[in-house]
Amino acid sequence: AQSVSQHNHHVILSEAASLELGCNYSYGGTVNLFWYVQYPGQHLQLLLKYFSGDPLVKGIKGFEAEFIKSKFSFNLRKPSVQWSDTAEYFCAVNSGYSTLTFGKGTMLLVSP
Amino acid sequence: KAGVTQTPRYLIKTRGQQVTLSCSPISGHRSVSWYQQTPGQGLQFLFEYFSETQRNKGNFPGRFSGRQFSNSRSEMNVSTLELGDSALYLCASSLEGGKYGYTFGSGTRLTVV
């Protein structure tokens, strides 16, 4: 069975600080990887996804993530966060046509 | 194009009752998945339907059931509601699942009293 681990449950940053959220998964085969964001009171939105090709994936709103197969990791990064990035971030994985398995989420609070 | 539509947005039910939630996927999407989201457990997978067939099933009791219609719309049903069923129920649709990714609806907030 697949599992996803997000290392930080809560992260607090000041505006303009750099962001890196960790995500590790456990599955030895070919995987599809996703980052979703849930802004306060809103539904889950896809930030970016990886399924093949360039391991550095760029998503919406200036976010990017790097797939490192040897480390089973798919960390999310943003060079300079804004107050509007305050949200909960979820890493998810599936393989083939299996369902998405989500991490527990990381709550990011950006102070102005 | 229209997103994933879930109805109703909010529900309050009494313990022991049953409830039916509805999900209309994005046009052309054949996969519909259901998740339960709670503060303590996060997002937990309930089941997935693809072309009217249950393709994947999570680890929930038989009180939780679902179905998908020929137009890809899906319903989930919870019978004999318990207080612990209070949660946000999310529906996600996908072209075929897998690498195509999933688009989520706004959810149905179920409160059991």
Residues of A in Cβ contact (< 8 Å) with B103: 46
Q: Could you give the percent of chain A with pLDDT greater than 90? A: 83
Spans of chain B, pLDDT less than 70: 1-2
Q: Contact at 8 Å (CB) between A110 and A13?
A: yes
Per-state percent for chain A, helix, strand, coil, to nearest 5: 10, 55, 40
Does A46 contact B101 at a Cβ distance shorter than 8 Å? yes
Kindly give, in sequence order, each residue whose CB lies less than 8 Å from that of residue A63, ignoring residues fewer than 6 positions away.
A35, A47, A48, A76, A77, A78
φ/ψ (deg, to 5) at B83 = -55, -35
Q: How does pLDDT run across B45-76, given as a tens digit for each residue?
A: 999 999 999 999 999 999 999 999 999 999 99
Please provide the DSSP assignment of B49-103 as one string.
EETTEEEEE-S--TTEEEEE-TTS-EEEEE-S--GGG-EEEEEEEESSSGGG--E
User: What region does B67 belong to: left with phi over 0, alpha with psi -120 to 50, or beta?
Assistant: beta
At residue A27 the predicted structure's pLDDT band, cuts being 50, 70 and 90, is confident
d(CA B33, CA B35): 7
- pLDDT tens-digit map of A42-79: 999 999 999 999 999 999 999 999 999 999 999 999 99
Q: What is the pLDDT of residue A1?
A: 74
pLDDT at A81 over 70: yes
Taking CA atoms, what residue in B is nearest to A44? B104
Closest-CA distance of chain B to residue A25, Å: 16
CB proximity B60 to A under 8 Å? no
Identify the pLDDT of residue B27. 94
At B72 the pLDDT is 95
CA distance B46 to chain A (A): 10
Q: Looking at residue B1, what is its pLDDT?
A: 59
pLDDT score of B64: 98
Question: What's the mean pLDDT in A7-16?
Answer: 94
